[in-house]
Structure 1
Amino acid sequence: MLRPIPAAIGLRYLRAKRRNGFISFISLASILGIAIGVTVLITTLAVMSGFQKEIRDRMLGMVAHATISADGDTLSNWQRAVDVAREDARVAGAAPYVDTQALLRGRRNEPAAVRAIVPEDEAQVSDLATSMVIGKLEDLQPGTFNIVLGRELALWLGVGVGDSVIVTTDFQVTPMGAVPQLKRFTVSGIFEAGYQDFDRRLAVVNLSDAQRLLRIGDGVTGVRLKLHDMDRAQQVTRDLVHRLGGVYRVSDWSIENANMFRALKLEKTMIGILLSLIIVMGSFNLVASQVSLVTDKQADIAILRTLGLTPGGVMQVFMVQGTMIGVIGTILGITGGLLLTFNLEHILRAIEGAFGVVLMPEDVYYVTGLPIDLQVSDVVMIASVALLMAFLATIYPALRAARTAPAEALRYE
C-alpha cells in the first residue's frame, strides 16, 4: 500500500530497534503514562457518574419532577390543577400535597419536614409506598392522625410503630396569648429511602389531617407532578400554568436541588482535571523521548534532507512517530479502562475478602454495590484529550528536527 514518505519513515522509526536503549525506555514510559492516565480517568469518572445517578434516582424517587403552587399561602383550586395536569400526555401523575415544618417530640425532640399526602395518589408521583419497611402507606387514613417516619428520624425520636409523636407546627393567637398548635399522632409505619435528607428529616401524614391541624380548610401547598421525561420539567410546568391561567409559582427538580447538582458536577470536573495530570506527565515523557530521538537521528535527518525531503517533511516524520505513540497509549488506556470499570466491583470484593475490610460500608454510602455509569461522552472526551496532548507534545521535537542543518550534522560522520 502506498503511503506518503514522511508517514512511512515515521512508522518505520516507531518499530525500528534503537541504538540508544534509554530512548526506547522513555518511549515505553510515555505509552504507559498515557495508558495509565486514560485508564484511571475512565474508571474514576464512571464511578463518579454512577454515584451521581444513584443520588439523583433516589432523590427523584421521593421528590416530584415538578410542582405547581399558588403565589400566596395555599392553593385553593387544586382539583382543577390536578385535572388539567392529568390531561397532559407528558404528565405521568399528579397529586396534591401540603408541606410544613414542625417539631416532633417522642422520647426526644427533633425538627422535621412534615409532608401531607393523599395515600391513593402518592404512588403516581413518588416511590414512597415501595420504600416502606414497616407498615403500609394506606394506613394514613383521614381522621386517624397516623404518621409515617423516616427510619433515621424514628431512631432519633426513639419511637416505633404504635408509639405516639407530638407534632408542633406553629403558634396560634388566642385570648390567652400565643399558643402552639399541638397534635398527637400515632406512628403507623417507617420508610427508608436510602437518602439521608429524607430518612432523617421527613415525616408523612394524611392530607386532611394536616389541613385540620394547620386550619387551612381545603387548601394545599401545591400539586406535585411526575413526568415521563423529567428533563422537560420546565417546559411542561410553564405550559400547564399557561393553560390554568392566573398567577402560580412553578419549580422543578433541577431548580430545587441546583446547588447539590452543581457541587457534584464541579467535583467530577475538578477530579477529571487533576487526574488529567497523569496524561500530561506521559506527554512530557513523550517530549523527552522525541527530543532524544531527534538528537539520535541527526545523521538520518541530514541524509533525508540531502535526498530532497523538505523541512516540513522532516516535521511530519517525527510528528507521525510521536502521534502514533499517543494513539497506542490511548488505545491501551481505553481497553484497560473498560476492563477495569466493568470488573471493579469484583476487584473490590476480592480485596475485601483478602484483607477482611469493608471498603464501602452501607451505613455510610447507602449503597449495596459499587454504582457504575460509563458514559460514551466521557470516554470520547478522555480519548480526545489524550490524543491532543500527544499531538501537541510532538510539535517542539518536530520543529527542532526540521531546523537541523545537513552540513553540521554530517561534519563528523
Structure 2
Amino acid sequence: MILNRYEQMIARRYLLPGKGEGFIFLVAAISLAAVALGVAALIIVMSVMNGFRAELFDKIVGLNGHAIVQGYEGRLSDWQRIASAARATPGVISALPLIEQPLMASANGRVEGILVRGMRPEDLRANKIINSNVKSGSMATITPGSGKVAIGSQLAQALGAYPGSEISLISPEGRDTPVGSVPRIVTYTVGAIFEVGVYDYDKAYVVMPMEDAQTLLMMGDQVGMIEIQVSDPDKVGDTLASLNSVVRGKGIVVDWRQMNSALFSALEVERIAMFVVLSLIVVVAVFNILSSLIMLVRAKTRDIAILRTMGASRAAMMKIFVTVGVTIGTLGIFAGVILGAIFLYFRQGVVDAIQAMTGQNLWDPSVRVLADLPSKTDPVEVTAIVVTAIILSFLATLYPAWKAASTDPVQVLRYD
C-alpha cells in the first residue's frame, strides 16, 4: 500500500498520542502488546512441540532404528540371511543384529527391572546416541568376555552403581533342578554410565556385547531382532514391504510408527490443539486493534471532515487508517518474534528459575520423558504465523477505515 507524503504524515500523527487521546493510545499499546504475546506464545509452543517430536524421534530411532525384524518368542534364527536380504533392499541403509530382553538387576540390596541390550562391538562403537552421551567410565572397556556392561544414568542412580561397581543380572531362564527351574544370576562390572536424555531408556538399559548377551540368555548363535535404518523414515512401510516374505514364519517387521504410534499420535493431536487455542490470543489482540481504531475514528471525526473538505479522497482515508492498524499489528508481531526467540534461547534457564522460586519440580524426566526442555523452530511455521497475524491485523482495520472514509463532512461541520 503506497501512501503519498501527506497521507504518511497524517498516519504518523495518528500513531502518536494527541491532546486528550491518552486513553486511545493506551488501548493501542495494549493491542500491540497482546499481538506480541500471542505471536510469541504461538512460536514458543510450536517450537517446543516440534522439539519434542524431533528429539524423541532422533533418540528413539538412534537406539531402535526405523524398523525392526522381531523374532517370534524373542529369538531369530537364520538372522544372517534375513539381515543380508534387508541390506539388499533398495532404500535400506543398515541392518544390525540385536538382543533385547527384559530382566532384573540387583546391586547394593536394590532390585530394578531392566532391559538388556546386546550389540556387536563394532555396532556399539558406531552408535552415536550412546557413545556421545557417556557420563562416566569408558565404552572402550565394554568388550566381549570382559564382564563389563554400560548402564543408563537413572538406573545407576536407582541401584547406587558407578563405574567399577558390580551388578547382578537375574534371568528367569536358568538351569533345571529336581525342585524346579532356578533363575540364572550373573555378575557384571559397570564399565560406563550413559545418559541419552530419554528417561525410560536411561532407567532401564544395560548394554553389553552380543556374545555376552547370548551367553547370559543361553541363545547360542541366535539374536532377538534386526534393527533396520532406511533413507526415508516416512516411507519405511513401502521400503520394507518386500521383506515380509523373507521373514514370514520366523518373525514380523515393525516400523517406528507402529512401535511408538500412541506417543507420536498424542504429540500431533496436542500440537494441533495448542495451535488452535493459542491462535485465539492473536484473534483477541486483533479485536483490540479493531476497537482502538474505532475509538480513534470517533475522536478524529472533525479532523477527517476537514481533510475531506480540503480534497482528501475516501481512498486516502481508507489507506491512512489501514496503515495505522497494520503498523500496530506489525510492530506487535515483530516484538513477538523477538520475545519468542529470547524465551526459546533461555528456555531451560527460565524453567530452572521458576522451579527455584516455586520449589516445584516442573520438569520431572519420569513424566516429561526427556531430560531437558527441547526446541526446534521451523522457519516455514514462523513465517505462516507472521503472515496470518498480518492478514488478521489488516482485516481488523477494514471496518474502521471504511467508517472513516464514509464520514460526511457536511454533517460533521454543519454546526461548527
> What are the superposed Cα offsets for residues 314-358 of structure 1, whole Å, 9 maximum, x if unpaired?
6565334322332233234334544x2586379869989xx9x99
Provide the C-alpha distance between the structure 2 equivalents of 1:342 and 1:363, rounded to a whole number of angstroms. Answer: 19
> What are the superposed Cα offsets for residues 256-314 of structure 1, whole Å, 9 maximum, x if unpaired?
23333344445555555555454344323211211112212334555677899897886
- Judge conservation of contact 2:161–2:190 (CA < 8 Å) in 1: no
Q: Does 1:287 align with 2:287?
A: no
Residues 139-178 of structure 1 aligned to structure 2 (within 5 Å): 139-141=142-144, 146-160=148-162, 161-170=164-173, 176=178
Residue identity matched to 1:238: A
Residue identity matched to 2:346: L
Residues 259-298 of structure 1 aligned to structure 2 (within 5 Å): 259-298=262-301
**CA positional deviation for 1:205:** 3.5
> What are the superposed Cα offsets for residues 335-388 of structure 1, whole Å, 9 maximum, x if unpaired?
4544x2586379869989xx9x99999989999987553320232122123213
- Judge conservation of contact 2:152–2:206 (CA < 8 Å) in 1: yes
Provide the C-alpha distance between the structure 2 equivalents of 1:187 and 1:270, rounded to a whole number of angstroms. Answer: 48
Residue identity matched to 1:150: G
TM-score (norm 1): 0.76
Q: Does 1:375 align with 2:375?
A: no
Residues 245 and 361 of structure 1: CA distance in aligned 2, closer, same or farther (over 3 Å): closer
Report percent identity of matched pairs.
27
3-state SS in 2 of match to 1:62? helix
Residues 283 and 404 of structure 1: CA distance in aligned 2, closer, same or farther (over 3 Å): same
User: What is the CA RMSD across the aligned residues, in angstroms?
Assistant: 4.4
Residues 240-255 of structure 1 aligned to structure 2 (within 5 Å): 240-241=243-244, 244=246, 246=248, 249-255=252-258
Match of 1:321 among 324, 327, 330: 324
> What are the superposed Cα offsets for residues 22-47 of structure 1, whole Å, 9 maximum, x if unpaired?
32332233233323433454345445
TM-score (norm 2): 0.76
Partner residue in 2 for 1:198: 201
- Judge conservation of contact 2:141–2:148 (CA < 8 Å) in 1: no
Q: Does 1:96 align with 2:97?
A: yes
Residues 166 and 3 of structure 1: CA distance in aligned 2, closer, same or farther (over 3 Å): closer
Provide the C-alpha distance between the structure 1 equivalents of 2:263 and 2:55, rounded to a whole number of angstroms. Answer: 14
Partner residue in 2 for 1:121: 123
State which drifts further: 197-206 or 80-89.
80-89
Provide the C-alpha distance between the structure 1 equivalents of 2:173 and 2:122, rounded to a whole number of angstroms. Answer: 28
> What are the superposed Cα offsets for residues 195-223 of structure 1, whole Å, 9 maximum, x if unpaired?
22112112234434444554544332221
Q: Does 1:82 align with 2:80?
A: no
Runs of 5+ unmatched residues, structure 2: none
Partner residue in 2 for 1:27: 28
Partner residue in 2 for 1:109: 111
> What are the superposed Cα offsets for residues 60-87 of structure 1, whole Å, 9 maximum, x if unpaired?
3333232123467532221022223334
- Judge conservation of contact 2:171–2:217 (CA < 8 Å) in 1: no
> What are the superposed Cα offsets for residues 102-121 of structure 1, whole Å, 9 maximum, x if unpaired?
22233222112222222233
Partner residue in 1 for 2:67: 66
Match of 1:226 among 221, 225, 229: 229
3-state SS in 1 of match to 2:156? helix
Provide the C-alpha distance between the structure 2 equivalents of 1:388 and 1:302, rounded to a whole number of angstroms. Answer: 29
**CA positional deviation for 1:224:** 0.6
Residue identity matched to 2:86: A
Residue identity matched to 1:191: I
Residues 158 and 298 of structure 1: CA distance in aligned 2, closer, same or farther (over 3 Å): closer
Residues 343 and 183 of structure 1: CA distance in aligned 2, closer, same or farther (over 3 Å): closer
**CA positional deviation for 1:135:** 4.4
3-state SS in 2 of match to 1:61? helix
Residue identity matched to 1:298: T
Residues 373 and 108 of structure 1: CA distance in aligned 2, closer, same or farther (over 3 Å): same
Provide the C-alpha distance between the structure 1 equivalents of 2:91 and 2:141, rounded to a whole number of angstroms. Answer: 27
Residues 349 and 212 of structure 1: CA distance in aligned 2, closer, same or farther (over 3 Å): closer
Partner residue in 1 for 2:392: 389
Provide the C-alpha distance between the structure 2 equivalents of 1:189 and 1:152, rounded to a whole number of angstroms. Answer: 15
- Judge conservation of contact 1:286–1:390 (CA < 8 Å) in 2: yes
- Judge conservation of contact 2:7–2:316 (CA < 8 Å) in 1: no
Residues 97 and 412 of structure 1: CA distance in aligned 2, closer, same or farther (over 3 Å): same
